[in-house]
Amino acid sequence: MSAPQAIAAVKGFRDVLPDESRRWRALEEAAERTFTRYGFGEIRLPVVERTELFARSLGETTDIVEKEMYSFADRDTTGLTLRPEATAGVVRAYLENGLVQSDPTARLFYRGPMFRRERPQRGRYRQFYQIGAEVLGRDDPLADAELLVMLERYLAAVGARAARLELNSVGDRVCRPVYRERLREFGRAHLAGLCPDCHRRVERNPLRMLDCKVESCREIMTRAPVAADSLCDGCRAHLAQVRALLEQERVAYVMNPRLVRGLDYYCRTAFEVVASGLGAQNAVGGGGRYDGLVAALGGPDVPGVGFALGLERLAMAAPGTEAEAAGPAAVILPLEAGAIGPALALATRLRDGGLAIGLEPAGRSLKALLRAADRRRARLAAILGEEELRAGRATVRDLVRHQDRRQVLPLDASGPELARLLQAMIGGGE
C-alpha cells in the first residue's frame, strides 16, 4: 500500500509562520497603541456576512462582487459570503448594535482576514489580512485630516519605508455623476483601444476604467478627464480644507488626480498609501470617504471615512528590526539523563522570572547541544553536566561574544534571582 500523500493548502491561502507573525503582532500592537490615542476602539467582526450586505455596499458592478467573492449557500439556503473587506460589516454592526444612536460618531478599528478570489501573486493572496479604521457620523474635513494624520503617524511608527500618501477627491452625489458622464464619453470615444473589461465599464461603471491594470488602457486613461475639473463648490472647499490641515500638520502627500477607489460608495476624499520596492502590488493601503454607505445599508443618512491597510504588504514595506527576531535569552543544555529534572527546574524558574528560555533534550554531546543552541539564536547556553550537578551550578557560555570567562548560575537560587543573574550576564561586558 502506498503512503498517503501530504495535503497542500488551497491556492492563494498561506501560512504565517512565527518569524512573520512576530512582525505582524508588532504591527498590530503599534496600530492599537496609535489608534487608541486618537479615540478608536476595536471592533471584532464576523468573517461571514450575508451576501446581500456586500452586493449592496460594494455595488453589483465592482470586480469584487462580480467575480471575487467566496459565496455559498448555507444549509438553510441563506446566501453567505466570506467578507472581502470590513467596512460594510462595520456599518452593519454600527446600525445593528444601535451605535448610530448611542455613539453616532463612533471610531472603530478592526483587524483580521479578508477573502477575495484574485489571481495570486507576490503580495496578493486570496486570504489576506487588513488593519483598518473607520470614523462614522462626521462629514467635516477635520475628520478626514485627523484620520490621515493618524495614518501617517502609524506608518512612521512602524518604519514603513518610502510610503507615499496619494490624495484625490472623487466628488459627491452632486458632481460625481457629472464626472462619470464625462468619463463615459471619453471611454466611448476611445473604445477601440480599451480592454474587454473596460468595454463593459464604459457603460456600467466608467470610474473603474481609471483603475484598469491593462497597459493599453492605462496609456489611454492618462489622457482622460480628471475628477478635480468636475468638482462642485462643496467638494472643492472640502478638499481645500483637508489639504490645509494636512499641510499644517506637515503630513506629506501628493495629489493624484487619477486616483479613484474601486468601490462604488466612495465620495470626496480618496487616498492610497503606496510603497516603493514592493513590485506590482505596491498599494499598502487605501481609503476614503463613504457618505452614502450607511443609508444604502438601510440606516439614516450618516457619513463616514476610513482606511484599510494590507498586513502582508505593510510587513514588506516595514520589515522591522533585528532585535524583534532575537532568539531566547538562554538555552538550557542537559548533558545526561540525571540533568533532565534540574534542567526543567532551572528553565521553569527562569521563565517564571520573565525570560524566554529554550530547553534541549538530554543525551547528546556538548558540541551537538551547542549547535542546537546556536540554531535557536540563543544569547547564552546554560550547561548542566555531571560536574555542574555535583557543584550545584550551571556553567553559562556566551554564544554571541564567545568569551571564556566562566560564569555560573546557582541551581538553588530563586526565579527572580536567577533571572537577575542571567540578565546581568547578557548586559555585562559591553
Candidate residues 284, 329, 370, 425; the one interacting with ligand AMP per rule CB under 6 A: 284
Q: Are 110 and 45 in contact (CB under 8 A)?
A: yes
Q: How far is Cα 376 from Cα 346, in angstroms, rounded to an integer?
A: 18
Give least dist CB 422 to ligand AMP, A.
41
Give the bridge partners for 359, in sequence order: 332
Kind and range of the H or E run holding 127: strand 127-136
Backbone angles phi, psi at 124, to 5 degrees: -135, 120
- Say how many C-beta atoms besides its own lie within 10 A of residue 272's C-beta: 21
Of 63 and 388, which has the nearer Cβ to ligand AMP? 63
- Regarding 271 and contact with ligand AMP (CB under 6 A), the answer is no
Give least dist CB 368 to ligand AMP, A.
42
- Regarding 24 and contact with ligand AMP (CB under 6 A), the answer is no
Give the bridge partners for 164, in sequence order: 274
- Regarding 310 and contact with ligand AMP (CB under 6 A), the answer is yes
Candidate residues 117, 124, 236, 377; the one interacting with ligand AMP per rule CB under 6 A: 124
Candidate residues 24, 109, 110, 125; the one interacting with ligand AMP per rule CB under 6 A: 125
Give residues with Cβ within 8 angstroms of 336, minimum separation 6.
362, 363, 385, 386
- Regarding 283 and contact with ligand AMP (CB under 6 A), the answer is yes
Of 265 and 379, which has the nearer Cβ to ligand AMP? 265
- Regarding 116 and contact with ligand AMP (CB under 6 A), the answer is yes
Binding mask 145-164 for ligand AMP (x = CB under 6 A): --------------------
Give least dist CB 232 to ligand AMP, A.
25
Give least dist CB 84 to ligand AMP, A.
8
Q: ∠ CA(14), CA(17), CA(20), 5° rounding?
A: 100
- Regarding 312 and contact with ligand AMP (CB under 6 A), the answer is yes
Q: What is the spatial order of strands in the sheet that 407-410 belongs to?
A: 357-359, 330-334, 380-384, 393-398, 407-410
Supply 153's cell numbers.
Answer: 503617524
Candidate residues 56, 238, 313, 397; the one interacting with ligand AMP per rule CB under 6 A: 313
Supply 417's cell numbers.
Answer: 534571582
Q: ∠ CA(212), CA(218), CA(222), 5° rounding?
A: 125
Q: How far is Cα 294 from Cα 259, in angstroms, rounded to an integer?
A: 23
Total number of residues binding ligand AMP (CB under 6 A)?
17
Q: Are 268 and 293 in contact (CB under 8 A)?
A: no
Give least dist CB 272 to ligand AMP, A.
7
Of residues 192, 211, 191, 213, the one with CA closest to residue 202: 191
Binding mask 195-234 for ligand AMP (x = CB under 6 A): ----------------------------------------
Of residues 160, 148, 165, 139, the one with CA closest to residue 38: 148
Binding mask 245-264 for ligand AMP (x = CB under 6 A): -----------------x--
Q: Are 35 and 64 in contact (CB under 8 A)?
A: no
- Regarding 31 and contact with ligand AMP (CB under 6 A), the answer is no
Of 308 and 396, which has the nearer Cβ to ligand AMP? 308
Give the nearest residue (CB) to ligand AMP.
Answer: 310
- Regarding 85 and contact with ligand AMP (CB under 6 A), the answer is yes
Residue 162 three-state SS? coil
Candidate residues 128, 154, 265, 266; the one interacting with ligand AMP per rule CB under 6 A: 128
Q: How far is Cα 172 from Cα 266, in angstroms, rounded to an integer?
A: 8
Of 119 and 250, which has the nearer Cβ to ligand AMP? 119
- Regarding 374 and contact with ligand AMP (CB under 6 A), the answer is no
- Say how many C-beta atoms besides its own lie within 10 A of residue 167's C-beta: 22
- Regarding 45 and contact with ligand AMP (CB under 6 A), the answer is no
Q: Which stretch binds ligand AMP (CB under 6 A): 42-50, 141-149, 202-210, 305-313?
A: 305-313
- Regarding 286 and contact with ligand AMP (CB under 6 A), the answer is yes
Give least dist CB 166 to ligand AMP, A.
11
Candidate residues 20, 66, 118, 417; the one interacting with ligand AMP per rule CB under 6 A: 118
For 13-46, the DSSP string reads -----HHHHHHHHHHHHHHHHHHHHTT-EE----
Q: Are 316 and 161 in contact (CB under 8 A)?
A: no
- Regarding 111 and contact with ligand AMP (CB under 6 A), the answer is no
Q: How far is Cα 237 from Cα 234, in angstroms, rounded to an integer?
A: 5
Candidate residues 171, 187, 285, 292; the one interacting with ligand AMP per rule CB under 6 A: 285
The binding site for ligand AMP (CB under 6 A) comprises 85, 116, 118, 123-125, 128, 130, 262, 283-286, 308, 310, 312-313
